[in-house]
Amino acid sequence: QVQLVESGGGLVQAGGSLKLSCTASGGIFKILGWYRQAPGKQRELVAAIPSGGRPNYADSVKGRFFISRDNARNTVELQMSSLKPEDTAIYYCKATNRWSFDYWGQGTQVTVSS
Candidates 23, 13, 10, 29; CA nearest to 77 is 23
Cβ count near 5 (within 10 Å):
13
pLDDT of residue 52: 85
| In the chain, % of residues over pLDDT 90 | 97
pLDDT of residue 53: 85
Candidates 7, 2, 5, 47; CA nearest to 26 is 2
CB 112 within 8 A of CB 85: yes
pLDDT of residue 99: 92
| In the chain, % of residues over pLDDT 70 | 100
DSSP single-letter state for residue 98: T
CB 90 within 8 A of CB 35: no
- Per-residue pLDDT reduced to its tens digit, 46-90: 999 999 889 999 999 999 999 999 999 999 999 999 999 999 999
CB 59 within 8 A of CB 45: no
Mean pLDDT of 36-52: 96
